[in-house]
Structure 1
Amino acid sequence: MEDKRPENRKKSPKICGTNYPLSISFIVVNEFCERFSYYGMKAVLTLYFIHYLHWSKNFSTAIYHAFSGLCYFTPVLGAIIADSWLGKFRTIIYLSIVYVIGHVVKSVGAIPDVGDSSVHIGLSMFGLILIAFGTGGIKPCVAAFGGDQFEEEHTEERRKFFSIFYMSINAGSVLSTLITPILRGDVQCFGGDCYALAFGVPAALMIIALVVFIAGSGLYRKSPPEGNVLLNVCKCIGFAISNRWSGSKKSPTWNHWLDWAEEKYSKGLIQEIKMVLRVLVLYIPLPMFWALFDQQGSRWTLQATRMNMDLGGGFIIKPDQMQMLNALLILVFIPIFDMGVYPLIRLCRINLTPLKKMAIGMILAALAFGAATVVEVNVIKTVVEPATAKECLLQVINLVDGDPVSVEITGHNIFSDKIESYKDPVEYTRLPLSDAHQVLPVNVSQYGVTHQCKLDANETITYSLILYSKDGIINCKQEEDNIIKSENGEAYIRFINTHPESMNITVGSANFFAPRNYGISETLKVERGTYMKVTCISETTTHYIELGLLDFGATYTFVIGRDAEKLKLHKIEDVNANNINIAWQIPQYVLITAGEVMFSITGLEFSYSQAPASMKSVLQAGWLLTVAFWIEFLLFAALLVAVSIIFSIMAHFYTYVDPDQLATLAKDDDNIVDLKEKEKENISMDNVPKSTKM
């Protein structure tokens, strides 16, 4: 059996004469590919739910977070398997195979020709479950396995390894969040966005990750499993509690409630459990950080869809690509913090312990959501809130030449000002209804003459009431409007044709038909851009019209008329374009990334350094489990500030474990085992008849 003592384990070859084992290069490359696989798939997941499976935003967000939560619950399972049965190396290999199968199933589920919608949903959910078990199961093992490659005395190299390890995570994330949205949106397959390819490429990267990890097999230091560690821990805790509350007559005075287990379990095991429990109790407030952090893939992405994504110079970013900024900033911030910020703090003689770093990281994340709140307040100014029950939304478009008109809807004096001809309508007005459906009389006055028409209104619907003149009489035409902004940055447009001939209009890939004499075309979405020469074919000739800039998220109505021999075009902006630039999200990404550097990397190294050798994967899983427990911008920020204060108080009373103490405990356990063996030998000798003793 392999010797479990650290000093007798296999020593891996070093990288270029340093104290860094060559084996960690395979682990780092494996982590890069695996994270590319995971984040690449996750970058397009919310939009896949909304646009491919046609789920609502709220339901899509709920499923997204449920999947994320499962990915961080399953590390406990992986840690138990690794520390108790298979060891870290074989656990990583077996669960990586599960991971690959999950990716393949997810990709197949995104192929349109594979069954009906229930089949797509079933395959997608089954694939996500397998991915969650795969990625979660290997997560605590890979980090702990990397730490195992270092000798005990190389603590500084091991600390820097966790920074390099975290950089590989984010390097994979940067490339994947840049590439997979392009595969989704810019590559067309099966007549639409190519989600099958966007999920297929991450599947290929996961296969590469598995191959690379296996390739380094001969270099790894592989600690064998310690037996059913978690079961022994649970039994020890159970025995201590039972013994403490059983009403024992001896009633010894113990310093800790776990000491009541000394009658049955070794002091070394009890001390190790104390260490783990002290750290796990410290982790209780931490899930709030991850609840904020994970909003980048849902709420922050949805916020980006309502912003202007033109960064200038012709560079247009997709809303789901903005997530790559976090990973990109990680690559910049880690060396800045390691070589600049932390040494500067030490020069100032400030003792910045790991737990203090984590508390500061939480405060920075709270500030990030404060910044996100400021952005959101301005973003929603361009959004038209839909009508609720017992009301509809209404705007009036006046196409009547001459003096302004006044509009009165019986029982509702909502249009108090006169409405000028061919001017942008006033903002959508909320029109109260007495029932779910109501027909309302409308009086339109011009030059002292009142014309009557009707509005056939339904609750929650948005309408345009279009006024036009025919044979000296003002007529009304109502049209149902679209006020929901496109989540991919397109603009919505329609045409009102006042010309006596019907019109066929081609804008990009969209084709519109506008009937003659105030006919209205269908409302369609077109790519954001400037359209200077649009083909407009009437019944007798071909015209070219200029639409100008059709901006992100806007809805436009174009009125086609005739001026002499040319077509005259009037542009109305029904729903405002997204006027808050995506660059305003940068401060919130900077703050949350700085918080992540101080919180997450420190937490990884802290979890490894404070764990006894037999429970390193278990404590890594405990750290990752804080991500799994999970609401909105300002509320999150306030909660995290409160949590950071609680955490700081708890951290103040925590006593750090010296790594040398862990090594001493391991040696003490070995000595205890040797003493027990000698006692067994003495007992057996005592049972031998005296005449046979030598």
Structure 2
Amino acid sequence: MEKSYGSVKSDSSAPSVTTSESDLIDKDKKKYRSKDAYPYSVFFILTNEFCERFSYYGMRAILVIYLTRWLSFGENQATSIFHAFSMLCYGMPLIGAVVADGYLGRYKTILYLSVVYFAGSLILSVTALPPPEWYGAAVGLFLIACGTGGIKASVAPFGADQFISGQEKWQNSFFSAFYFMINLGSMLSVIITPILRADVHCFGQDCYVLAFGIPAVLMFLSVLMFFLGRDRYIKIPPAGNIIGKTFKCIYYGIVGKIRRSKYDEPRKHWLYYADDKYDAGFIEDVRQLLKVLFMFLPLPLFWALSDQQGSRWTLQAEHMDGDMGIFGKIKPDQMQALNPLMILALIPLFDKGIYPLLDKCKIPNRPLARMVVGLFISSGAFVCAGLIQYKIDINEARQVVSGESGVLFLNTIPCRVKIESPLHDGFINDMEMTEFYTIQAGNYSVNATTVCPGNKTQSFYDYFILEDSSSYRFIIYLDEDDDSLNVSLYLDERTKPHHGDASISIFTTSDILWNMVTIVPSSYKHYSDQRSIETILDVEQNNVSKFHVIQPARYTIFLSEDFNDSTILTDSGIDFTISSGGVYTVYYTGNSSTAKVHLYADVKENTVSMLWLTPQYFLITLGEVLFSISGLSFAYSQAPSSLKSVVQSIWLLTVSMGDLVVIIVANIRAIPSQMIEFYIFALLMFLDTLVFMVMSLFYVYKPNSIDYIELVDDGPAFDASATEIAEENYENTEGESVQLKNM
């Protein structure tokens, strides 16, 4: 679901601590407890993490829908805002790590920035009240990004700090529990928050106040639980800004290379031109770090694909059918729950089944190889997304172009009608409609004749003007006053409603007052329940209303019996069902005792099931498990132990850069369709993977790491001491990366 943001165990997450300082810290820890005493302070941290992740993913799940539906941003604008927010979230850990390691320490950093986080959640919720305003959301999202991003590099290592020497097994179990709480919080929030948004109504609209308010409450509980454990925590003081020190070393190396290379004797690497500022050991560590970071260069594109689950894929789901029959209706923003569900299933499958099997079969599956496979699979996910988008596009309504007019005929009388006209020549069966088609704009005659067995034949003839770039409905009906045949021309709506909604226009041959026509969801028993009630007040022409966008449901149409008391309804309402994405003309005839309703689909409803998104979610999750966890394993095993926190921050920065890629692509106006955009991402990912595969073939693994030992045969380089060191490194990296992947 997400990228790891915890650092590694306490011995490597504060890398600038010297040996003597480490001894002092260990002695300070032992003053708190013995190695036989379990640090129950971690339960406060685990509860804090569950609440924080629920808050973050709950807010994030509905964010793009909030931006498009409530704040009325376009889909490209909403996508850009979503990814700009995500970009800030994953750029802030670098600053948060500097603050925690060099100034405030982890405890204060987490506490203070969590309060900022809660303030942002509260502002986002309160400003979701009507009227819609964008600036409240902007302030709230900025504070949330600063808060969640600022604590990302501190929470997991702060939990690891609670364990002392001799408690390594308990420490590993903490990481497992930490990882579980993250996925549990994200999974539950992605399921629950869309329900709060759509199924609870506030002010006659989706209840964004509640949908953002519950995550805000969870964030308050997160801060509270973390604060309650304050007297139980082991709090390691800040030990220096290792990230700042690393960047300064790189800076002095570059400057020294430029200024001194012509005068001093050559160095074996340009970083060694900083030898007047830093010792050789630290410079060598930075050199190894740059070697690892070079392998990070192609990685942002993966996150550009993965993060679209919350933006483009959610918008794609809005154009699909979420009806699951007896299982209810899936909301577009709930589809994201597939990711954490699949992650929880796939990780044990790979760790306990697939990887051991590959080892037994002597099939190489080192971290870089796994990452390459994961990247290839991820490109396949966007091929699937493009295919689904193609299926959606061919079911979209045909639009008229300049010089054309669109036409369809609706027959509302209970017998066949023959039409003789350049617009249509043939019969239209009773209570049916023709297909929509386009014709050149202009003046056209229409001759209609009834073909009713046993009744007299009636005819109608008239001329109609069809204007350029407009769509029309010809509605055939019998006048209730004299039972004469009529054909009337009304504007039609050809654009599918956004966000999975539907659109209706009511046509009637009855003599009714329009402000007494009300449609109510059939599940509501009384008019006093004001949720989702639509009252048709506006009339475009005689006998027909304008199109109204409403939520898909089964509705009952009523006539208010008393104009002055709209709470009194007729005893018998007439039911009809509208579906997601459909545009309908609802024909109403008769009075309260003889009313009849017939539904015409001017534009067909969404027919592609949301379940077709499952393959692309499976592929992107499979790619994430292979890529993300293996990437952390590679990074931590290959980076110097003194600079692992730097690696963690740069890893998260690749996520931020991936979001920047999405923002750029979303704003390229030359891309003709969403389907083409998906295919472009698939192609870019494929090419990017080829580059990364070539880079991985030339990468030389760090000596004494488990990855290096896997590459050599028994011989001088493969001795017992090296194996022991490598296995220790592997336990301190592979295990941690698996636990911390999804944070």
Whether TM-score is above 0.5 comes out as yes
Structure number with higher relative contact order (C-alpha < 8 Å, ≥ 6 residues apart): 2
Shift in CA distance, 306/432, structure 1 to aligned 2, threshold 3 Å: same
C-alpha separation between the residues in 2 aligned to 1:321 and 1:89? 34
8 Å CA contact 1:80, 1:618 repeated in 2 = no
Corresponding residue to 1:407 among 418, 421, 445:
421
User: CA 1:150–1:354 in 2, change beyond 3 Å: closer, same or farther?
Assistant: farther
Residue 491 of structure 1 aligns with an amino acid whose one-letter code is: A
Shift of 1:175: 1.0
Instruction: State the partner residue of 1:428.
Output: 436
Q: Among residues 454, 467, 486, which one is paired with 1:457 in the alignment?
A: 467
Aligned-partner residue type, residue 592 of structure 1: I
For the structure 1 residues 359 and 182, does the alpha-carbon distance in structure 2 shift closer, same or farther, using more than 3 Å as the test?
same
1:70 and 2:72 correspond: no
**Residues 518-529 of structure 1 correspond to what in structure 2 (within 5 A)?**
519-529=543-553
Distance in structure 1 (CA, Å) of the matches to 2:162 and 2:311 = 37
Supply the distance in 2 between the matched residues of 1:15 and 1:179 (Cα, whole angstroms): 40
Unpaired runs of 5+ residues, structure 2, are: 1-16, 451-458, 521-532, 563-568, 666-676, 706-720, 726-743
Flag the 1:246–1:419 CA change in 2: closer, same or farther, 3 A: farther
Label 1:214 to 1:535 Cα distance change in 2 as closer, same or farther (>3 A): closer
1:350 aligns with 2:363: yes
Residue 485 (structure 1) aligned to one of 497, 502, 517: 497
Q: Match for 1:441 among 433, 440, 443?
A: 443
Match of 1:41, SS? Answer: helix
SS at structure 2 position matched to 1:322: helix
1:543-582 aligned within 5 A:
544=572, 546-561=574-589, 566-567=594-595, 569-582=597-610
- Inter-partner Cα distance in structure 1 for 2:98 and 2:430: 71
Equivalence map 1:131-530=2 (5 Å): 131-146=144-159, 164-217=177-230, 222-246=235-259, 248=261, 252-387=265-400, 393-398=406-411, 403-408=417-422, 415=423, 417-418=425-426, 420=428, 422=430, 424-431=432-439, 440-446=442-448, 451-455=461-465, 457=467, 459=469, 461-467=470-476, 475-481=487-493, 483-487=495-499, 489-499=500-510, 505-508=517-520, 509-512=533-536, 519-530=543-554
**What is the SS of the residue equivalent to 1:171?**
helix
Q: 1:469 to 1:451 in 2, by over 3 A?
A: farther
**Which stretch of the first structure deviates more once superposed, 472-481 or 38-47?**
472-481
Tell me if the contact between 2:391 and 2:608 (Cα under 8 Å) persists in the aligned partners: yes
Partner Cα distance (1:447, 1:492) in 2: 31
Q: What is the SS of the residue equivalent to 2:618? A: helix
Structure 2 counterpart of 1:644, one-letter code:
T
Secondary structure of the structure 1 residue equivalent to 2:375: helix
Q: Secondary structure at the match of 1:580?
A: coil
Structure 1 CA distance for aligned equivalents of residues 370 and 20 of structure 2: 33
Work out whether residues 493 and 555 of structure 1, in 8 Å CA contact, stay in contact via their aligned partners in 2.
Answer: yes
Kindly tell me: are residues 499 and 240 of structure 1, through their superposed partners in 2, closer, same or farther at Cα, counting changes over 3 Å?
closer
Are the structure 2 counterparts of residues 397 and 28 from structure 1 closer, same or farther at C-alpha, using a change threshold of 3 Å? same
Kindly provide the CA deviation profile for residues 527-579 of structure 1, in whole angstroms up to 9, marking residues without a partner as x.
43445x7545799x96857544322222222334569x955544311111122
Question: How far apart in 1 are the matches of 2:646 and 2:629?
Answer: 17
3-state DSSP class of the match of 1:317? coil
- Whether the 8 Å CA contact 2:560–2:570 is kept in 1: the answer is yes
Q: Which moved more, 1:282-291 or 1:307-316?
A: 307-316
Q: Is the 8 A contact 1:171 1:331 kept in 2?
A: no
> Could you tell me whether the CA contact under 8 Å between 1:382 and 1:575 is conserved in 2?
no
Q: Which consecutive unaligned segments of at least 5 residues does structure 1 have?
A: 409-414, 434-439, 665-694
Query: Offset at 1:110?
Result: 1.4
Which residue of structure 1 aligns with residue 614 of structure 2? 586
Tell me if the contact between 1:502 and 1:513 (Cα under 8 Å) persists in the aligned partners.
no
Quick check: 544-553 or 93-102, which moved more? Answer: 544-553
CA distance in 2, matches of 1:19, 1:357: 39
1:633 and 2:678 correspond: yes
User: Residues 184 and 248 (structure 1 numbering): CA distance in 2 closer, same or farther, change over 3 Å?
Assistant: closer
One-letter code aligned to 1:444: V
Q: 2:138 aligns with which of 125, 134, 139?
A: 125
The more displaced of 631-640 and 547-556 is 547-556
Task: Indicate conservation of the 8 Å contact 1:71/1:136, yes or no.
Answer: yes
**Match for 2:106: what amino acid?**
K
Which of 616, 639, 644 is residue 644 of structure 2 equivalent to?
Answer: 616
CA shift for structure 1 position 130: 0.9
Q: Distance in 1 between matches of 2:260 and 2:548?
A: 77
SS at match of 2:217: helix
Could you tell me the TM-score, scaled by structure 2's length?
0.76
CA shift for structure 1 position 365: 1.7
Counterpart position of 1:102 = 120
SS in 2 for 1:255: coil
Deviates more, 1:478-487 or 1:323-332: 478-487
Counterpart of 1:137 in structure 2: which amino acid? G
Q: Distance in 2 between matches of 1:15 and 1:498?
A: 84
Task: State the Cα deviation string for residues 357-401 of structure 1 (Å, max 9, x = none).
Answer: 222222222222222222222222332154456655443335576
Query: Contact (CA 8 Å) 1:144, 1:616: kept in 2 or not?
Result: no
How far is 1:521 from its partner? 2.8
Any idea what the Cα deviations from partners look like across 1:98-135, whole Å, max 9, x if unmatched?
211211221221123xxx65xx3222101111111111
For residues 260 and 328 of structure 1, the distance between their equivalents in structure 2, rounded to whole angstroms, comes to 50
What letter matches 1:142 in structure 2? V
What SS does the aligned partner of 1:453 have? strand
Does the aligned pair in 1 maintain the 2:88–2:656 contact within 8 Å?
A: yes
Whole-angstrom distance in 2 between the partners of 1:255 and 1:634: 45
SS of aligned partner of 1:74 = helix
Is the 8 Å Cα contact of residues 4 and 223 (structure 1) preserved in structure 2? Answer: no
Change (3 A) 1:494 1:598: same
Whether the 8 Å contact between 1:82 and 1:617 is mirrored in structure 2 is no
Distance 1:199 1:560, change over 3 A: closer
Per-residue displacement from partner, 1:415-472 (whole Å, max 9, x unpaired)?
4653625464444334566xxxxxx31221357999442335364x543233557787
Task: Give, in angstroms, the shift of residue 60 of structure 1.
Answer: 1.7
- What percent identity do the matched residue pairs reach? 38
1:680 alignment partner in structure 2: none
1:245, distance to aligned residue in structure 2 (A): 3.0
The partner residue of 1:57 within 43, 54, 75 is 75
- Paired with 1:458 and 1:139, the residues of 2 have a C-alpha distance of 57
Are the counterparts in 2 of residues 497 and 515 from structure 1 also a CA contact under 8 Å?
Answer: no
What CA distance in whole angstroms lies between the structure 2 residues aligned with 1:364 and 1:146? 34
**Which residue of 2 is the match for residue 685 of structure 1?**
none
- 1:235-254 deviation line (CA, Å, top 9, x unaligned): 32233223323354565343
Please tell me whether the aligned partners of residues 396 and 464 of structure 1 are also in contact (alpha carbons under 8 angstroms).
yes
Q: Distance in 2 between matches of 1:35 and 1:136?
A: 12
Deviations 1:205-230 (A, max 9, x none): 22222333344556656554343333
Q: Contact 2:493 / 2:583 at 8 angstroms: preserved in 1?
A: no
